Amino acid sequence: MKTKLLFRNFFFLATFFFVSIMSGQGCWTAISAGRTHTVAIKDDGTIWSWGSNSRGQLGDGTTMQHYSPAQIGTDSNWAKIACGDYHTIAVKTDGTLWVWGDNGIGQLGGTAGSNILSPTQIGNETNWAEVSTGRQHCTALKTDGTLWAWGMGLNGAIGDGAMEDRPDPVQIGIATNWSKIYCGYYHTLGIRTDGTLWAWGWNASGQLGIGTDVDELSPIQVGTDNDWVDISAGNAHSVALKSNGTLWGWGFNILGQLGNGTTDDVWVPTQSGTQTNWEKIVSGLGHTIGLKTDGTIWTCGLNNTGQLGNGTVDPSASTPYPDLTQVGTDNDWQFISVGSHFVHCLKDAQIWSWGSNISGQFGNGSNSSNPNPETYLNCTTLSIAEIAPHTFTVYPNPARDVIQIMTQEYTLFDEIIVTDVYGKTVITQQQTAQVNTSGLVSGMYIIRASVDGKTMTAKFVKM
């Protein structure tokens, strides 16, 4: 019954990832990694995005790629986010549900069709609580414990008993005790408040954990245990944690993504190792990242872009890493979010990233990949609160090829310096009030204009 299933070419991986940062420890409250884009929420409730944007998944009203974080709109009441392959869904603090990006098969709710380039509300309900998204299907929980899904119904990923696409959220079953959800490629996992584990959708490699390779069109209970506390679904594998801190995995395992020391597929939940201090587990395309209660991070599985963070890369994607191995020696990691081939981790008010950065999903102003954890984003680099209040106007903002500095007092400046958010000077001009920005990559910049011994500072966004 064992299936040596090859990875499908296109994969989404992300779900809702949320972490609360203790007061005074940082500006990020939520971050989600998609296929090649990232969306994050700051503690002031604003939402930011960077990376690929071919279908509007960054939500900035364009399809232009951003190598640096750019704010989406001006709203400051965002609470939760989930990035899919080429789309994003989010919940605001008022319980409303919002979507943007690819809508080819109705994964954004409503009639399938054109991409949606800016956050757009689904319905008018105000009781949405949790969100998760697969490649082209979405699931969400309401505050009343009900489960809802929409998008592509292939292989039963929706869970409503059929294999039909659903362009609008439909309730799955009648249960009112759902507490966690997680979407994989075409399968979904869920935990109820009684600690039971449920699965449905694509099952070619046993990723549902029910001992067969038959797709399930509706939620089916996985075993009889009632002590499950966390779940994550990858392309064709699944991992979960129990309340006793043990790690379990099942499904496709040709690259060791289950972390159990083998490359054999597993058809039912099987414990990986004997450790009892696992706190969080997250899956990528073919790799898995785990966070322990001692603050250490561990990885296993696919490493073709350096997504394991061990300083190496296997371009052939043929070398398995079946044992969970610690990333470095740091023991103060707080949170993990995994994209298809890259990882974001949080500690000390900074976002650390490794793996593929081909679309600028690190947000560091470049598209250079890195197999080693590096810190790129923190509150200081994204917040301009320390800078003096704007004493001049930059127009247009967001900018394209040229920006103009306007004040009531000056029409010409001795020197203009433009830096990126890391302080690197990217433009220097003298005796002008106009700046050519055509050579800048998309992102946020700081502009300083000096005249008569004064220096005036503002920020602008390059489209």
Query: Residue 65 above 80 pLDDT?
Result: yes
Q: Which residues, 6+ apart, have CB-to-CB distance to 260 below 8 Å?
A: 249, 253, 266, 270, 271, 272, 273, 322
66: β partners: 51
The reported pLDDT for the residue numbered 415 is 85
The reported pLDDT for the residue numbered 399 is 81
Indicate where the chain has its CATH 2.130.10.30 domain(s). Answer: 14-382
The reported pLDDT for the residue numbered 380 is 54
DSSP string, 162-177: S---EEEEEE-SS---
DSSP code at position 154? G
The reported pLDDT for the residue numbered 239 is 98
The reported pLDDT for the residue numbered 392 is 67
DSSP string, 248-297: EEEE--TT-TT-BSS---EEEEEE-SS---EEEEEE-SSEEEEEETTS-E
pLDDT in tens, 428-452: 888 888 899 988 988 878 888 888 7
Work out the average pLDDT over 336-349: 89
The reported pLDDT for the residue numbered 14 is 42
The reported pLDDT for the residue numbered 348 is 73
pLDDT band at 303 (very low <50, low <70, confident <90, very high): very high
The reported pLDDT for the residue numbered 396 is 82
Work out the average pLDDT over 180-206: 97
Query: Residue 283 above 90 pLDDT?
Result: yes
Selected residue with higher pLDDT from 462 and 454 = 462
The domain defined by 14-382 carries CATH number 3.10.450.50: no
The reported pLDDT for the residue numbered 17 is 35
pLDDT band at 409 (very low <50, low <70, confident <90, very high): low
Selected residue with higher pLDDT from 86 and 446 = 86
98-102, 231-235, 279-283, 395-399: lowest mean pLDDT where? 395-399
pLDDT in tens, 218-254: 999 999 999 999 999 999 999 999 999 999 999 999 9
φ, ψ for residue 422 (rounded to 5)?
Answer: -100, 0
The vertex-302 CA angle with 301 and 308, nearest 5°, equals: 80
How many percent of the chain have pLDDT more than 70?
89
The reported pLDDT for the residue numbered 358 is 94
Query: Residue 11 above 60 pLDDT?
Result: no
134-138, 242-246, 299-303: lowest mean pLDDT where? 134-138
Q: What is the C-alpha separation between 99 and 112, in angstroms, rounded?
A: 13
Neighbours of 368 (CB within 10 A): 10
Q: Tell me the three state secondary structure of residue 379.
A: helix
Q: What is the C-alpha separation between 321 and 299, in angstroms, rounded?
A: 9
The reported pLDDT for the residue numbered 422 is 58
Q: Which CATH number fits domain 393-462: 1.10.540.10, 2.60.40.3080, 3.30.457.10, 3.40.50.360?
A: 2.60.40.3080
Work out the average pLDDT over 259-266: 97
pLDDT in tens, 363-388: 988 899 999 999 877 765 543 333 33
70-84, 343-357, 386-400, 407-421: lowest mean pLDDT where? 386-400
Q: Which stretch of DSSP H or E encloses residue 377? A: strand 370-378
Work out the average pLDDT over 329-340: 92
Work out the mean pLDDT of the chain and round it to a whole number: 87
The reported pLDDT for the residue numbered 13 is 41
Work out the average pLDDT over 158-165: 96
Matching residue, tokens 């420890």: 25
Q: Tell me the three state secondary structure of residue 461.
A: strand
The reported pLDDT for the residue numbered 290 is 97
Indicate where the chain has its CATH 2.60.40.3080 domain(s). Answer: 393-462
109-113, 206-210, 329-333: lowest mean pLDDT where? 109-113
Let me know: does 247 contact 203? Beta carbons within 8 Å: no
Can you read off the two tokens belonging to residue 122?
């689904």
